[in-house]
Amino acid sequence: MMKFMSSISLSIGIGLLATSVMSNYAASLFLTLEEFIIEWEVISLGSSTISLVIMLDFMSLYFISLVSLVAGSVMVFSTSYMSGEWFFGRFVALVMSFVMSMFMLILSPNMVSIMLGWDGLGVTSYLLVIFYQSSKSYNAGMITALTNRLGDVGLLISIAMFFSYGTWSFTVYGEGSHKLPATLITIIIMAACTKSAQMPFSAWLPAAMAAPTPVSALVHSSTLVTAGVYLLIRMNMFLVNFAMLEVLMFLGTFTMLMAGGAAMLEMDMKKIIALSTLSQLGVMMMTLGAGNPILAYLHLLSHAFFKAMLFMCAGVIIHNMKDYQDIRKMGLGWYSLPVIMSTMSVANMSLCGLPFLSGFYSKDMVLEMMMMSGPSLMILSVMILATFLTVMYSCRLSFLVGLSMVKSEMFYQMVEGDKMMLAGMFMLLPFSIAGGMYLTWSLIASASVVFLPFWLKLSISLTILFAIFVMSKMFESFSSGQPTPLKLFTSTMWYMPLTFSISLSDHLTNYSKGFFKSVEITWAESILFKQALSLFYLSGPSMYLDRVSHLYIIQVVKILLFTAGGVFLL
C-alpha cells in the first residue's frame, strides 16, 4: 500500500510539473496579448447576473505555473519524506485539494469563485496543520483557522457589497473603480492582511509550522500566504489613489521589522524560515503600498522558488536529527551534509539579495524604487534596518547549522537523503539561481532608470556587508545571555500572539459561551423550536405548513423587539 501511494504521489508530481511547463509557455504568449476571459452566465436576476468567469492572462498563468512547479517538486520530495506515514494517502488528497483551491482562486475574477477558493485554502490548510495529531497541532490549527475566518468574513461582506453594484466580477468596473466605497476596499485589504499574516494578524504563521515540512514548503512559503498579496495585485485598480495605501505600506514595513527581530532570537529552525517568509510578505505589501504591483508580483514569484527549496533543505536536516528542530543542537552540517548545505546556502544568499541570484532582481529593484519614491525618513530607516536583519538571521542560520560545533547529547548518522528528496530540491535550484533574471526580462518590459544619490545607492550593499560583519562579531549576544525586556518584546513578535490571538480568542469564546447559555438553550429554543415541533406533531404536516409561518412571524418580532430593547438599555 505504501509503495502504491508513493507511485501515485510521484505520478501526481510529474503531472504538476508538466502543467507548470505548459502554463509557463502559455504565459509567455500572453505577454504580448490582452487577457482572455471566458464567461458563462448561470442565471440572471433582474439587473444582476450570476456568472462563472475564467480569466487567462500572463499574471494568472505565471502564478499557475509557479504553484504547479512548487507542488510538483513537493510531491516528488514527499514520495520519500512521507513514505513512512500511515496516512500518506490522506496527505496526498489534502495537498491536491489545496492545489485545486489555489487554481480556483487564481483563475477567476468572480468574487464568489474567489471565496470558494479562499475558503478551500483555509479548510485544507487547517487539516494539514493538524495532520500530526497532538495538542500542539490542534492549538496551532485553531489559531490558523480563527485568524483566517476573519478574512473569510471580510470577503463575504464584499460579495454582498459587490452584488449591490450588479455583478460579482470586479473586472467590469475598469476605470470607474474610484466610485466604489472606501469601506469595501478597506474590507478587502483587511481580508488580504489576514491571509498574508500582516500585522496584527501575524501570529498564525509561525504556529502553522506544526504541519509536516513538505506542507510548509508548499503552503506556508509560496502559495497560501501569498494569496492575499495576489488578491490585492489583481484588484490594484481599486487601490489607485486610495488613502489606505499609506497604511498598507506602513503595515508591510513594520511587519518586516517585527519578523526580522523575532527571527534573530528564534531557535526553532522551521519557525526561523517562517519568520523570514513573514518578512518577505512585508516586502510585498510595502511594495504594493508604494504603488508598484508588478514589482510586488515579481518578488512574489522569485521568493517562492528559493523559500520552498529552503524548507525542503530544513526538512532533510530535521529528518537527520530525528525530528529535532532546535538549531542550538545542530552543527557541522558542511562536513556531514555538503550537498544539502550547498543548496541551503544558495537559498539563503538568494534571500539576502546576493547578486546575481533570483532574489536580487526583485529585492534590489524594490528597495531602489522605494528609495526613489521618497518615503518618510521613518519608513526608509525601518526598511534598511529590516534588510539588515534579513541578512543577519540568514547568516545566523547558516552558521549554527553548518559551521558551529555539535552540542547534541546524541550522535546521529547524517545522510544526504535518497534520490527523490534530492530531486525535489534540485528541481527548484535552477529557478533559485536564474529564475529572477528570467522573470525580470519577461515582466519588466522597459529598462527602469533609477536616480539615487551615490550614498543612498551604496546603502543597500553597505547594509549587507555591515550585517555580515556585525554577525561575526556579536553572534553570542543574540544567542545567549540573560533575558531583557527588549529581547522578550522582540522574541514574542511584539506580543502579537498574546494580544491578538490568545487573549482575543479567549474573550470571544467566553462571550459566545455566555450567549449560548443565556439565549440559544433557554428562551430562544423554547420560543422558536419547541413550539414549532409540538405544533407539527399535534396538528399534522398539512396544518403545520399553514400555521407555522404565522407563528414564526410573531415570535421573530418578539425576539427583535426584545433584542432592540436590550441594546437600547446597554
* pLDDT single digits (tens) 365-386: 888 888 887 777 778 878 888 8
pLDDT at 503: 56
- How far is 453 from 460, CA to CA, in rounded Å? 12
What pLDDT, on the 0 to 100 scale, is given for residue 544? Answer: 44
- The string of pLDDT tens digits covering residues 526-552 is 555 555 555 544 554 445 445 545 555
Contacts of 564 (CB under 8 A, 6+ apart): none
Q: Say if residue 473's pLDDT is above 50.
A: yes
Between 148 and 346, the higher pLDDT residue: 346
User: Mean pLDDT highest for which of 59-68, 372-381, 382-391?
Assistant: 59-68
Residues 6+ apart with CB under 8 A from 61: 23, 24, 26, 27, 30
Output the furthest CA–CA distance in the chain (Å, rounded): 88
Query: Mean pLDDT in the chain?
Result: 76
Domain boundaries, the chain: 502-569
Euclidean distance between CA atoms 296 and 292, whole angstroms:
6
What phi, psi does 326 have (nearest 5°)?
-75, 120
User: Alpha helix (H) ranges present in 444-530?
Assistant: 454-473, 475-479, 485-491, 496, 503-515, 523-524
Q: What is the pTM of this model?
A: 0.81
Kindly tell me if the per-residue pLDDT of 467 is higher than 60: yes
The predicted model gives 272-290 an average pLDDT of 88
Torsion angle, alpha carbons of 442, 242, 224, 346, to 10: 50
Least reliable range by pLDDT among 190-199, 350-359, 436-445, 499-508: 499-508
pLDDT tens digit sequence for 163-184: 777 677 777 665 544 567 778 8
Positive or negative: CA dihedral 197, 202, 208, 209: positive
